[in-house]
Amino acid sequence: MGVVASAPAKVILFGEHFVVYGEPAIVLAMDRRVYVKVENQEDNTLHVRSTNLNLAACFEKNRFRIEQGDPKEARLRFEPVRQVVERIIEEHGASVGLNVEINSTVPVGAGLGSSAAVIAATIVAVSTLLNVKLHKEDVFRLTCEAEKVVHGASSGVDPAIATFGGIILFQMDTGFKPLDLRMDIPLVIGDTGVERSTKAQVEKVKSIMEKYPQIAQLMMNTVREIVLRAMDALKENDLETVGSLMNVNHALLYGVGVSDESLEWLINAARKAGALGAKLTGAGGGGCMIALSNEEKLDRISEAIQNAGGRSFKARKTDEGVRIEQN
């Protein structure tokens, strides 16, 4: 039967981009998950398959063999998986063959943390199958290390959400602080389908910050105040204020050049359909936006986003991080 583990995706509610300059951000684990099934293989090879991406490959010692899809993409996607599997096999103390199957309910490459969720779920599934004892902190550390293969330097936000779930406040100098919030946060996620380079968007912001340092400082002060007020509103179950602050946060992101036409179409459609607030989430330049809504308007907003050319789905906060689904 094997072992199935899952881990949640994430959205950034407030503070993206400005977090690089030391300001706080609020990040939420959502109930869309990545599932990883791991089974023993008779041969001493690692077989990895992604059903969503139509990719499959085999790692045998130092050899890589493509079985389905584009070799370059398969190598990029599966290298972090290979890395963590080999680390756990080392702890297991015996060479084994494994079959790893990845199935995601999360759009890939859209800024929702799918790669970290894949890695965290793989770590827990493989370690459970091989009876290697790992604590959540070990899962987080290994996920961070593997994420560097994908993204280079990693803030650790995606690995933290995939591992621990819930809502966290993140700041570069102080790290992560879990927020104990009991309220429901009904969201609609809109995927533009537009691929973007995170690096290019970061460079856009850097250019503005360097060109207008005094204005940049005022913007960073504003973002800090937005995050602090949003935390108060979340504690008080004040969705209207949270939505209003999302709109202000998006205006700042638009101002530093990381929104684009594909995002603006979906954000405006969501607001016209009754969203309390809507903004891009993640790097921008395409990717995804989020809309906060009262329960009764979720379907209307989701439909409006689709009519504006996006793919949409409803999501909620989940307090559960990586977990075993089947053993």
Residue 206 shares a structural domain with residue 252: yes
Torsion of CA 89, 159, 7, 59, to 10 degrees: -40
CATH classification of the domain holding 269: 3.30.70.890
Residue 284 shares a structural domain with residue 306: yes
Residue 219 shares a structural domain with residue 257: yes
- State the pLDDT at residue 46: 92
* Catalytic site residue from 70, 138, 158, 232: 158
Of 180, 197, 221, the last residue of a domain is: 180
Assessment of whether the complete model's pTM goes beyond 0.95: no
- State the pLDDT at residue 61: 77
Three-state secondary structure of the chain: CCEEEEEEEEEEEECCCHHHHCCCEEEEEEEEEEEEEEEEECCCCEEEEECCCCEEEEEECCEEEEEECCHHHHHHHHHHHHHHHHHHHHHHCCCCEEEEEEEECCCCCCCCCHHHHHHHHHHHHHHHHCCCCCCHHHHHHHHHHHHHHHHCCCCCHHHHHHHHCCEEEEECCCEEEEECCCCCCCEEEEECCCCCCHHHHHHHHHHHHHHCHHHHHHHHHHHHHHHHHHHHHHHCCCHHHHHHHHHHHHHHHHHCCCCCHHHHHHHHHHHHCCCCEEEEECCCCCCEEEEECCHHHHHHHHHHHHHCCCEEEEECECCCCCEEEEC
Residue 160 shares a structural domain with residue 238: no
Of 128, 151, 180, the last residue of a domain is: 180
pLDDT at 152 over 60: no
Residue 157 shares a structural domain with residue 197: no
Lowest mean pLDDT among 34-43, 105-114, 127-136: 105-114
Residue 11 shares a structural domain with residue 160: yes
Residue 46 shares a structural domain with residue 167: yes
- State the pLDDT at residue 228: 95
Task: Report if residue 42 sits inside a domain.
Answer: yes
Task: Report if residue 246 sits inside a domain.
Answer: yes
Task: Report if residue 327 sits inside a domain.
Answer: no
pLDDT at 150 over 70: no
pLDDT grade for 199, boundaries at 50, 70 and 90: confident
pLDDT grade for 90, boundaries at 50, 70 and 90: confident
Task: Report if residue 195 sits inside a domain.
Answer: yes
Residue 137 shares a structural domain with residue 169: yes
Task: Report if residue 323 sits inside a domain.
Answer: no
pLDDT grade for 198, boundaries at 50, 70 and 90: confident
Active site residue 158: yes
φ, ψ of residue 96 to 5 degrees: the values are -140, 160
More confident residue, 202 or 187: 187
Residue 33 belongs to domain spanning: 3-180
- State the pLDDT at residue 183: 85
Number of domains in the chain: 2
CATH classification of the domain holding 145: 3.30.230.10
Task: Report if residue 238 sits inside a domain.
Answer: yes
Residue 129 shares a structural domain with residue 15: yes
d(CA 171, CA 179): 13
Lowest mean pLDDT among 154-158, 235-239, 244-248: 154-158
Residue 171 shares a structural domain with residue 254: no
pLDDT at 294 over 80: yes
Task: Report if residue 321 sits inside a domain.
Answer: no
Residue 61 shares a structural domain with residue 198: no
Residue 175 shares a structural domain with residue 222: no
Task: Report if residue 55 sits inside a domain.
Answer: yes
Of 142, 160, 180, the last residue of a domain is: 180
pLDDT at 151 over 80: no
